Chain A
Amino acid sequence: QKEVEQDPGPLSVPEGAIVSLNCTYSNSAFQYFMWYRQYSRKGPELLMYTYSSGNKEDGRFTAQVDKSSKYISLFIRDSQPSDSATYLCAPNSGNTPLVFGKGTRLSVIA
């Protein structure tokens, strides 16, 4: 079983839709959960960061962590064409290098 599994998509949604991006992981030592966003021809940038289980909201973005099922989600409300990018999850233990999911490619169609 891979340490981090993420559906690569591609995922295509109309503007204004709610988007749900998900990852599963196998390492129970992971305590920190990050989402990176990568635009075409750019490096990834940190989008959201949560610690342990629960929800965190930042504008139109909500990160959700369920440690009991080792499942992490990123929700995007009122999606915009500018949200079109690849989204990578990166759970982490805090003392080892980041392990990234393969990323989900999202297209938001105007």
Chain B
Amino acid sequence: KAGVTQTPRYLIKTRGQQVTLSCSPISGHRSVSWYQQTPGQGLQFLFEYFSETQRNKGNFPGRFSGRQFSNSRSEMNVSTLELGDSALYLCASSLGTSASNEQFFGPGTRLTVL
């Protein structure tokens, strides 16, 4: 069974630009969660989508948004990039909601903002 895939794996952007990251969950998984990982703050929850609906949202500004498609694939978007947005963005999928089901993580997208 294929794991969670994320594209692209690496991305370099400049301040003020926007970026879209993509996540394909494990087949059959309906929940996709997004996390930001930095050395200073660790792994922080961004948001979770289940059956195309946002179920939970972390404490991030509105520049961070996401969506989920009917095939459970998900995208997250960051607008007006700031230097502090440089991080590893991880997506995780689970059969049901992330709170009560094992999450499987993808390898992440490494975003560098210059």
* B48 and A97 form a contact (CB under 8 A): yes
Q: Is A45 an interface residue (CB 8 A)?
A: yes
Task: Write out the residue numbers on chain A whose beta carbons fall within 8 Å of the beta carbon of B45.
Answer: 97-99
Task: Write out the residue numbers on chain A whose beta carbons fall within 8 Å of the beta carbon of B58.
Answer: 97
Q: How many residues of A contact B (CB 8 A)?
A: 20
Among A12-20, A52-60, A69-77, A88-96, the stretch that binds chain B is A88-96
Contacts of B86-114 to chain A: CB distance below 8 A: 90, 92, 98-100, 102-108
Q: How many residues of B contact A (CB 8 A)?
A: 23
* B107 and A41 form a contact (CB under 8 A): yes
Asked if A97 meets B43 with Cβ closer than 8 Å, knowing A43-B106, A43-B108, A44-B90, the reply is no
* B105 and A102 form a contact (CB under 8 A): no
CB distance from B29 to the nearest CB of A (A): 14
Task: Write out the residue numbers on chain B whose beta carbons fall within 8 Å of the beta carbon of A94.
Answer: 99-100
Task: Write out the residue numbers on chain B whose beta carbons fall within 8 Å of the beta carbon of A99.
Answer: 45
Task: Write out the residue numbers on chain A whose beta carbons fall within 8 Å of the beta carbon of B35.
Answer: 100
* A92 and B43 form a contact (CB under 8 A): no
Q: Is B28 an interface residue (CB 8 A)?
A: no
* B43 and A46 form a contact (CB under 8 A): no
Interface string of A7-45 (1 = CB under 8 A from B): 000000000000000000000000000000000011111
Question: Chain B residues in contact with chain A, CB under 8 A?
Answer: 4, 33, 35, 41-45, 48, 56, 58, 90, 92, 98-100, 102-108
Question: Chain A residues in contact with chain B, CB under 8 A?
Answer: 41-46, 49, 88, 92-103
Cβ contacts A to B, 15 pairs, < 8 Å: A43-B4, A43-B105, A43-B106, A46-B102, A88-B43, A93-B99, A94-B99, A94-B100, A96-B56, A97-B33, A97-B98, A98-B45, A98-B98, A98-B103, A102-B42
Sample of 19 further A-B pairs with CB below 8 A, known A43-B106, A92-B99: A41-B107, A44-B43, A44-B105, A45-B105, A46-B103, A49-B102, A88-B42, A93-B99, A97-B48, A97-B58, A98-B45, A98-B98, A98-B103, A100-B35, A100-B42, A101-B42, A102-B42, A103-B42, A103-B43
